[in-house]
Amino acid sequence: MNHTTPPAAPKPVEGPHLQSTRLFGRAREVTIEHAGEIYRLRLTSNNKLILIK
């Protein structure tokens, strides 16, 4: 029987770290422009994030 350990998952690449409170301030929605398109990032009443195109 072969008891080999499966390979470890690769670590995700880390980019800039933003706190949502700094991003949203007192707002519940922010707009993000990406590749000429406007997206809305919304904070729900359940404290979840939704990205809308």
- Residue ranges of domains in the chain: 20-52
Q: How confident is the model over 31-42, as a mean pLDDT?
A: 98
For 3, residues 6+ apart whose C-beta sits below 8 A from its C-beta are none
| Residue 42 pLDDT level (bands cut at 50, 70, 90) | very high
Q: How confident is the model over 3-14, as a mean pLDDT?
A: 78
Taking the C-alpha atoms of residue 44 and residue 47, their distance in angstroms, rounded to an integer, is 5
Query: What pTM was estimated for this model as a whole?
Result: 0.68
Q: What percent of the chain has pLDDT over 70?
A: 96
Q: Is the pLDDT of residue 13 over 90?
A: no
User: Contact 30/24 with Cβ under 8 angstroms?
Assistant: yes
Assigned fold of 20-52: Complement Module; domain 1 (2.10.70)
